[in-house]
Amino acid sequence: MTGVSQKPQQLPRTGQDTLVRARIALGYFALVAVLGLFLRWLMVSPVDGVNFKYFLHAHSHVALLGWLYCAFFAALLYIFPVATSAARKSFRRQFFLTQVSVLGMLFTFPVQGYALFSIIFSTMHILLSYWFARSYWKHVQLNIDTRTHATSLKYIGAALLFMVVSSIGPWAMGPIMAKGTIGGELYYSAIYFYLHFQYNGWFTFAVLGLLFWFLEHHQVYFNRGWAMRAFWLLALSCLPAYALSVLWTKPADWVYAIGYLSVAMQLAGLLYLIKVVRWVWAEAVLLLIPWVRILVGMALVFFVLKLALQTASAFPYMADLAYKLRYFIIGYLHLSLLGFVSLFVLAFLLQQGLYRLGRYSGIGLTLFLTGFFATELMLFGQGTLLWLGLSALPSFNWLMFWASVPMPVGLGLFFLGQLGLKVSGVGRLSKSGFTGF
C-alpha cells in the first residue's frame, strides 16, 4: 500500500508469528558471532578438551540453518502470509521443530562433531526444509496473485529448489564416511556441493526474490524482460558453476571449460541485474529508511564482489592460490554470508519493521559493521601478503581476535534493542508510508 497510515495497525496472528521468528533468527545470529569469537580465541590459546573442528561445525551449522534459514522462513511468510488457521498451525509446527533441530546441532556438534546425534538433528533439519519448501510453494500457488508477483515468485521458486538440491551433499556424506574416506576429495567435494547451492542458489535467489517483491509491492516499475534474462542466466549457470568448487582437485580440461561457461553466464546475468537496479534506484531509494539504504547499497556491492571473486576462481592459477591460502576462502565465505546475504536480510527486516533501530541497535549495527570490515581486510590482506611473498602480519591471530570482538558485542546490542518492539508496532512509518501487511 502506498498511502500514509496515521498509526501502526494491530497485526493479525500471522504477524505475531513473523515477529517471533525474526527475533529468534536474530538471536541465532548473535550466537553465531559469539561462537566465531570463541573460535578466534582457540586460535590464540587452545583449550584442553575443546575440539576446534567440533565448534567450527556448530558455528557453521547455526549460521546457515539457524540464523539465515529462520530469517528467510520469517521473511517469506511475511511477504506472502497464510490466510487459513490450518496453514498457520502447520508452519508454526514446522518452525518449532526447526528450533529443536538447530538447538540439537548447537549442543551436539561441540561435543561429538559429526556423529550419531548431530547427524540425527542435521538430518531432521533437511527433512523439515523439504516440508517447508513443498508447503510454502503449494501455499503461494493457491493463494497468491502470480501475475502481480510473477518475477519475485520465479526467484523464490528457484531458491527453494536449490535449497532442496543442496541437500544432496549431506546425503552423500553418509556413504563417503562409511567408506572411511573422510578428508579426501570426495568428502570435501560433497561439502562444497552443499555450500555452493546454499550460498549461490538458495540464499542468493531468496535475496533477489525479496528484492523484486519489494519493487512489485510498491509498484515500482522495472524492466521485467531484463529481470527474467538475469533469472535464467543465473539459474541455468548455478548447476555448472559447481565446477568452480572442485577446481582445486585439478580435474580434466573439460571441467575448467564448464567453469568458464558458468562464469560467463553469471556475469551476463549480473549485467542485466545491474541494469534493473540502475533503472529503479532513484525511485526505490526514496522508499527506504536511511540505515536500510546503506545496508542495501553495501549488500549489492558485496554481491558484485562475490561474483567477481567467483569469476577469478575459474582460472587455474587463482583456484590453486585460493586452495593454498585459506585466508582467501574464509574471507570469501564471510563476504558472501555476512556482506551480501546477511546485510540484505537485516535491511529487509528493518524496512518492514520486523527489526527496529533504537539507541542500542544503531550502535550495535555500527559495531558489527566495524568488526566485519576489519576482519575482512585482515583476511584478504594476510592472504595477499603471503601471495606476494612479503612478511605476514605479526600476531595475526591476536589481531583477528580483537578485530572480531565488535561483532558479537554489536549483534548483542542490536538484539537487545529489539526486546521492546511490540507486535502492534510492526509496520513502520517511512517516506513510503505504512509498510506492514
pTM: 0.91
- Does residue 54 fall inside a structural domain? yes
- Are 153 and 140 within 8 A, CB to CB? yes
Q: 426, 353 in Cβ contact below 8 A?
A: yes
CA dist., res. 49 & res. 52, Å (int): 10
Q: What is the dihedral of CA 193, 194, 197, 198, to 10 degrees?
A: -150
In a domain, 274, yes or no: no
- Any domain includes 351: no
User: Which cell goes with 205?
Assistant: 535467489
Q: Identify whether 63 is part of a domain.
A: yes
Residue 272 falls within a domain, yes or no?
A: no
Strands (DSSP E) along 269-343, which ranges? none
Q: What was the pLDDT predicted at 83? A: 84
Average pLDDT value for residue range 189-193: 91
Number of domains into which the chain is organized: 1
pLDDT computed for residue 10 by the predictor = 39
* Per-residue model confidence (pLDDT) at position 13: 52
Segment 48-63 shows an average pLDDT of 95
- Say if CB 359 and CB 318 are below 8 A apart: no
Is 331 among the domain residues?
no
Domain region containing 85: 11-79+81-141
- Indicate whether 367 belongs to any domain: no
Greater confidence, 134 or 141? 134
In the predicted structure, residue 201 carries a pLDDT above the cut 90 = yes
What is the pLDDT, as a whole number, of residue 420? 67
Structure confidence by residue, pLDDT tens digits, 386-433: 999 998 999 999 999 999 999 999 999 999 988 766 654 444 433 333
Q: What is the pLDDT of residues 310-330, one digit of tens each?
A: 999 898 888 888 878 889 999
